[in-house]
Amino acid sequence: MFRLGPTELTIILVIVLLLFGVGRIGKIASELGSGIRAFKSGLGGNAEEKND
């Protein structure tokens, strides 16, 4: 379907930076990382309970 090359990805990145700003994107990425870590630890906790 759609093939995104380096030029298209660069344009999308610039548009996102203009819309949200660098500080806001960093905050979103940090929150996303925290959510993924919590999800992984939740999955690990369930696996440990099943093994007991």
Is 37's pLDDT higher than 70? yes
What pTM value is reported for the model? 0.51
Question: Residue 47 and residue 52: Cα distance in Å, rounded?
Answer: 9
Residue, of 52 and 6, whose pLDDT is higher: 6
Length of the chain: 52
Phi, psi angle pair for 36, to nearest 5°: -65, -40
Structure tokens at 37: 């870590």
